Amino acid sequence: MIEIFDRHDQTQACRNLLATVIQLAVADACSQPPKRREGDKAVLSHITVDALTALRFMFDESVSGLNEYAAWLDFDPGQFRRKLQDTMYNDSPLTINGFEPNQRRNFRYNYTTWRRFANQITEADLGEHDD
């Protein structure tokens, strides 16, 4: 016998999945940047593919991403971005909203790097470096 979800259960399961994707994007944006060799100018020597795609998902409004998820989850993506940046740019040595100082520092580095290189990154760059 096949058990069928009722509409409420199915809707809640979908909402949980979308929220988990956003949670994973935030975690990926906090990942430690790769150690790079002196003089290495390749974009992906400065940031991991996971961090790059996470930041693109959350902050690049020219591609599908956070805005569409926010519409389904009924929250303001602009406010989410502002609150996320407020948290990540807090220099406190304490844990802030569940983020350790190293995670916040990694996010700041990754975010700055993503903004610096965003216009230079191609789909080929992302496809060639899958882990």
The DSSP-derived string for 29-75 is: HTSPPPP--TT---GGGTS-HHHHHHHHHHH-TTSSSHHHHHHHHT-
pLDDT in tens, 28-64: 999 999 887 666 665 566 888 899 999 999 999 988 9
pTM confidence score: 0.81
Q: Rounded mean pLDDT of 62-77?
A: 95
pLDDT in tens, 79-123: 999 999 999 999 999 999 999 999 999 999 999 999 988 777 666
pLDDT band at 5 (very low <50, low <70, confident <90, very high): low
Query: Where exactly are the structural domains of the chain?
Result: 7-123
